[in-house]
Amino acid sequence: MKILFPALLAAVLCGACAAPPAATTPPAGAAETPDAASTLARIRTLAAHNSCSSASQCHSLPLGAKACGGPEAYLPWSSASADGARLQALARRYQAQRVKENAGLASDCSLVDDPGAVCRAGRCQAGGASAAAQ
């Protein structure tokens, strides 16, 4: 009995150790939720088609989030050649991702001014606000 009990106990304990680990599956939607860099790349791809025929088609999109608040940058885009609702949705996702990444970080707290956007040579470009102020 003295030999049988320790052997039985060892078999029970080692049986749990010998079982292969359960396969871990990513949470639902994880493959559908890209990281911040992927989201930004997608935004830049969509906004790259920024042809315009008038300044009213050009807009600036706030991107990301600084640790102290406010966007990190602005990106010019054209409502004539890009889906504004899609860009706005991706920008909101990117902002939320950057807020998570910035949790607990410090920043210089400087504000990034919106340069605006203008139509130059048939393309939306940053600089409408600063050009208008001059």
pLDDT tens digits along 54-92: 999 999 999 999 988 899 999 999 999 999 999 999 999
C-alpha 35/C-alpha 97 separation (Å) is: 7
- Length of the chain equals 134
- Would you place residue 4 in the very low, low, confident or very high pLDDT band (cuts 50, 70, 90)? very low
DSSP state of 50: -
> Taking the domains of the chain in order of start, what are their residue ranges?
36-127
Mean pLDDT for the stretch of residues 19-38? 56
Overall pTM > 0.85:
no
pLDDT in tens, 10-21: 444 444 444 334
Predicted local confidence at residue 15, as pLDDT: 43
